């Protein structure tokens, strides 16, 4: 989405005032989000699932939303506090209904490589990461944000609390329709659930009568124990995969492939074969590694689940 005449509002924690004539695009200062990036050969859906774990031990306690965007061969992960952003907009007199799209500066300015002046600060691309510095620390020539032609992604950052600010009759009408659809879907789901429950109950009673099983039979306990075992195995597999995906890779290292089932098999491209010994010690701390081999700069690993 290329921007020319659309109003742009840059929001920083130091922003004291702002105004929009109509709807505008909101660009968030790095002060409003946390950012990290990783090279991973996994689907976007899987990257979204592991997003919270990418910020463990990084973000302070609080309620956070997470956003993931694939840029080239990298996944860009963002963590942000919806309410903090909305509260700041409120203090400067901007209603959420005036905002059409929301982008972190990292995404909005990913193709801009010149310093950008915003108030008494400067947005700077530092080795691929957008940072905000005082103007006094930047000697290079700068441009104002409004002077740039930005090519923004189609997808933008969602803010959870937007729906609570719907004040127009049109929005209220649309919201009422959504509520009606939700209630209808819930009623259908309850009906199907009760119908299925009746079938299951009838089948259970028939089996108990046929095999003379009491309600607390050992067969029922075995089924529950089997389901609990499957749940524990799935949780353990998830913890192992998260540990692998959080390997302390250098910027030039990345996970080439990852497969899992009865065992976990993955390969890592190293910047130096000698690094394999370091990763071996890391993996043995929490994984049951059965095989590690290195060919050229590719490390091959097998683990038992």
Mean pLDDT split into 10-residue runs, the chain, 305 residues = 68 88 89 93 92 90 92 93 92 89 92 88 88 88 85 84 45 68 76 75 72 60 72 85 91 89 90 92 92 92 91
What local confidence, expressed as pLDDT, does residue 74 receive? 93
**Does a structural domain hold residue 224?**
no
Helix H or strand E encompassing 45: helix 44-50
**Does a structural domain hold residue 49?**
yes
| Same-domain check for residues 171 and 256 | no
**Does a structural domain hold residue 285?**
yes
| Same-domain check for residues 128 and 93 | yes
| Same-domain check for residues 49 and 105 | yes
**Does a structural domain hold residue 225?**
no
**Does a structural domain hold residue 226?**
no
| Same-domain check for residues 275 and 153 | no
What local confidence, expressed as pLDDT, does residue 163 receive? 41
Residue 195 lies in domain: 167-213
| Same-domain check for residues 72 and 193 | no
| Same-domain check for residues 275 and 207 | no
| Same-domain check for residues 58 and 44 | yes
What local confidence, expressed as pLDDT, does residue 221 receive? 66
**Does a structural domain hold residue 233?**
no
Distances in whole angstroms, Cα of residue 230 to Cα of each of 92, 187, 227, 263, 305: 52, 31, 5, 15, 12
What local confidence, expressed as pLDDT, does residue 19 receive? 84
What local confidence, expressed as pLDDT, does residue 171 receive? 56
| Same-domain check for residues 175 and 53 | no
Q: Given 130, 165, 200, which residue is the final one in a domain?
A: 165
Q: How far apart are the C-alpha atoms of 269 and 279, rounded to whole Å?
A: 12
**Does a structural domain hold residue 51?**
yes
| Same-domain check for residues 101 and 134 | yes
- Contact (CB, 8 A) for 113 and 125: yes
3-class DSSP state of 275: helix
CA-angle at 149, arms to 118 and 122, nearest 5°: 20
What local confidence, expressed as pLDDT, does residue 166 receive? 38
Q: What is the CATH number of the domain that holds 285?
A: 3.30.1360
Distances in whole angstroms, Cα of residue 290 to Cα of each of 263, 280, 297, 300: 10, 11, 20, 11
**Does a structural domain hold residue 236?**
no
Q: How many domains does the chain have?
A: 3
State phi, psi for 99 to the nearest 5 degrees.
-100, 120
| Same-domain check for residues 181 and 199 | yes
| Same-domain check for residues 283 and 186 | no
Q: How far apart are the C-alpha atoms of 96 and 169, rounded to whole Å?
A: 16
| Same-domain check for residues 31 and 67 | yes
């Amino acid at each position: 989405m290329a921007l020319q005449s659309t109003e742009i509002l840059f929001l920083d924690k130091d922003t004291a005032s702002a105004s929009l004539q109509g709807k505008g695009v909101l660009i968030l200062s790095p002060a409003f989000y946390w950012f990290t990036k990783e090279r991973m050969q996994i689907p976007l859906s899987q990257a979204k699932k592991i997003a919270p774990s990418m910020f463990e031990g990084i973000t302070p306690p609080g309620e956070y939303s997470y956003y993931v965007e694939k840029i080239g061969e990298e996944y860009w992960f963002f963590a942000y506090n919806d309410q903090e952003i909305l509260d700041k907009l409120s203090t400067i007199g901007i209603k959420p209904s005036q905002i059409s799209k929301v982008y972190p500066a990292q995404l909005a300015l990913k193709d801009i490589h010149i310093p950008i002046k915003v108030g008494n600060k400067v947005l700077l691309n530092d080795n691929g990461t957008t940072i905000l510095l005082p103007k006094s620390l930047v000697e290079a020539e700068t441009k104002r944000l409004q002077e740039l032609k930005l090519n923004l992604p189609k997808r933008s950052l969602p803010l959870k609390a937007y729906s609570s600010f719907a004040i127009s009759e049109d929005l209220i009408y649309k919201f009422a329709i959504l509520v009606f659809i939700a209630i209808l879907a819930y009623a259908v789901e309850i009906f199907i659930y009760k119908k299925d429950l009746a079938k299951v109950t009838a089948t259970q009673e028939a089996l108990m009568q046929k095999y003379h099983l009491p309600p607390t039979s050992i067969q029922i306990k075995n089924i529950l124990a089997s389901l609990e075992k499957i749940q524990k195995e799935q949780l353990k597999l998830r913890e192992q995969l998260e540990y692998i995906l959080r390997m302390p890779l250098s910027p030039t290292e990345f996970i080439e492939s990852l497969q899992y089932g009865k065992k976990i098999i993955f390969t890592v491209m190293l910047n130096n074969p000698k690094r394999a010994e370091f990763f071996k010690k890391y993996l043995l701390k929490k994984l049951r590694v059965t095989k590690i081999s290195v060919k050229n700069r590719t490390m091959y690993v097998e683990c038992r689940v």
